[in-house]
Structure 1
Amino acid sequence: MTVGSEEELEKLRAVGRLVARTLQAMGQALEPGITTRELDDLGRRMLEDAGARSAPEMSYAFPGATCISVGPDVAHGIPGDRKVQAGDLINIDVSAELDGFFADTGASFAVPPVTPRVERLCRDGRRALWSGIRQVRSGAELGAIGKSIEAFARKNGYTLVRNLASHGVGASLHEEPTEIATWHDRSERRKIHDGLVFTIEPFLSLGADWVDEADDGWTLFPPGGEPTVQYEHTLVATPRGAVVLTLPD
């Protein structure tokens, strides 16, 4: 989507704030003993109370309002009766439609106590995301995002999952531009135009560069079980840089 008016931007801001606050509340509710279904119920209530609809549910008939993945799973995990345990690494992805507009956000949470290397992975996952966001401005190369994220990952001893990419969003959950690499893709020639709405969501890992699909047809996991985190924002490109829509305030 390309933002065409201030009214469209305000509607994107509204759905962006909603998914960000929902993600924040779900993260704060994480504790040993809570089930992923209970977490999902919390997310559903927050979305529905605001008049919004779960984007994966309405777009793809996903069996849950949100995606909750318990490590080593990294994405598209189905909420259920599994109980959160101390030491778990959990990814929560929240996307929704409100008043005809979509936003998408996600984050990984380490349930204490965890090892120092997992704490560092979470910290650096956020840093990797922002290294990509800082490359965004109207007229810039789309490939600069992945180039910056990969440089960060290599410098700090991480790998990046290369079969999960960022995407356009706004008028629908997934739209053009598709397959925005969060690694250095030398074939990328597209530019970022003014008002473009898209996500950035690197999957930073302690060794994985690929994920497979589980038998449930949804859940994605690294074959070697390597700890992997994802952090995601929806943003709008402007001449001065990125306007991040998925912040809680």
Structure 2
Amino acid sequence: MTIETEEQLEMLRRVGGVVAAVCRLMGSRLEPGMTTRELDEIGRAALEQEGCRSAPVLMYNFPGATCISVNHAVAHGIPDDTRIRPGDMVNIDVSAERDGIFADTGASFIVPPARPEQERLCQTTRKALNRAVQVVQPGRRLNTIGRAIERTARAHGYTVIRNLGSHGVGNSLHEAPGFIPSYYEPGDRRMLTEGMVITIEPFLSTGADFAEEMDDGWTLATDEGVLTAQYEHTLVITKRGPIVVTV
């Protein structure tokens, strides 16, 4: 999507604010003993209350209103009877549509007690997201995003999940400019343009380079024992700097 009017920007801000609030709400309600399905129901109810439709359900008939991935599950986890335990890392990804406009956000949460290696990974992944947001501007190549993420990851001894990355969003959940790698791809000559709407979502790992699809046909996971964190914003590229709509 390319933002061309103030009305479009305001519509994007509205749905972006909703998905951000729902993600925070779900994170605040995490507690040992609850199932990921129960957590998803919290998200579903909150989206419906705001007049939003779950984007994964709308676009892909996903079996849950949100994606909830626990521990070595990295992304697209199906809400089910899995029970949250103390010390789990839980990734919550919330995307929704309102008035024909889509926004997407996500975050990793640690269920206390947190281990130092979990906290370091989450802190560095947030840093990678922030640095990538800071470098985007019209006229730069898309690969500046992956370069910023990969440099941050490597500086702290982490890898990036190479088959998961950022993407265009707005008129649909996934759209042009398509897949945006979280690593530096020197041959990628695509450009960032004024008004372009994209996500930035680094997946940093303690050793994995790829996530494999599990038997359920949705969940992407690494080997057990490998930690991965993800944080995601939807933003608009402008000459005055990016407008992050999922804060």
Give the Cα–Cα distance (whole angstroms) in 2 for the partners of residues 153 and 85 of structure 1. Answer: 28
For residues 80-117 of structure 1, the C-alpha deviation after alignment (integer angstroms, 9 at most, x for no partner) is: 11111000011000000001100000000111112101
- What per-residue deviation string (whole Å, max 9, x for no partner) do you get for residues 132-162 of structure 1? 1111111122111111111111111100000
Q: Which residue of 2 aligns with 1:58?
A: 58
Q: Residue 189 of structure 2 corresponds to which residue in structure 1?
A: 189
Match of 2:3 in 1: 3
Q: CA deviation at 1:225?
A: 4.1
- What code does the residue aligned with 1:61 have? N
Taking the TM superposition and a 5 Å limit, the aligned residue runs for 1:96-175 are 96-175=96-175
Rounded Cα–Cα distance in structure 1 between residues aligned with 2:225 and 2:101: 36
- Asked whether the 8 Å contact 1:26–1:39 carries over to 2, the reply is yes
2:95 corresponds to: 95
* Structure-1 separation of matches of 2:101 and 2:154: 36
Match of 1:34, SS state, is: coil
For residue 52 of structure 2, what is the amino acid of its counterpart?
A
Amino acid across the alignment from 2:206: L
Q: Which residue of 2 aligns with 1:214?
A: 214
The range that moved more, 18-27 or 28-37, is: 28-37
Q: Does 1:80 align with 2:87?
A: no
Give, in whole Å, the separation in 2 of the partners of 1:162 and 1:120. 20
Q: In 2, distance between residues paired with 1:207 and 1:43?
A: 31
Match of 2:226 in 1: 226
The secondary structure found in structure 2 opposite 1:238 is coil
| CA offsets 1:207-243 (integer angstroms, 9 cap, x no match) | 0110100000000001354100111000000002210
SS of corresponding position for 2:146: helix
> After superposition, where does 1:24-39 map in structure 2 within 5 Å?
24-39=24-39
Greater than 3 Å deviation, 4+ residue runs: none
CA distance in 2 between counterparts of 1:42 and 1:30 reads 10
- Rounded to whole Å, the distance in 1 between the matches of 2:234 and 2:191 is 17
Gaps of 5+ in 1: none
Q: Which runs of 5+ in 2 are unaligned?
A: none
Q: Secondary structure at 2:74's aligned position in 1?
A: coil
Aligned partners of 2:75 and 2:32: how far apart in 1? 20
What CA distance in whole angstroms lies between the structure 2 residues aligned with 1:31 and 1:223?
25
Percent of counterpart pairs with the same letter?
57
Deviates more, 1:216-225 or 1:183-192: 216-225
In structure 2, the partner of 1:18 is 18
Q: What count of residue pairs does the alignment treat as equivalent?
A: 247
Aligned residues of 2:72 and 2:223 also touching (Cα < 8 A)? no
Call closer, same or farther: CA 1:225–1:177 in 2, change over 3 Å.
Answer: farther
1:208–1:224 contact (8 Å) kept in structure 2: no
Q: Secondary structure at the match of 2:237?
A: strand
Instruction: State the TM-score, normalized to the length of structure 2.
Output: 0.98
Amino acid at match of 1:6: E
**Secondary structure of the equivalent of 2:38?**
helix
Q: Give the residue type in structure 2 aligned to 1:163.
A: N
Decide whether the 8 Å contact of 2:169 with 2:176 is kept in 1.
yes
Rounded to whole Å, the distance in 2 between the matches of 1:77 and 1:151 is 28
Tell me how far 1:33 sits from its aligned partner.
1.0
User: 2:84 & 2:105 partners in 1: Cα distance?
Assistant: 21
SS of 1:241 mapped into structure 2: coil
> Aligned to 1:26, what secondary structure does the other structure show?
helix
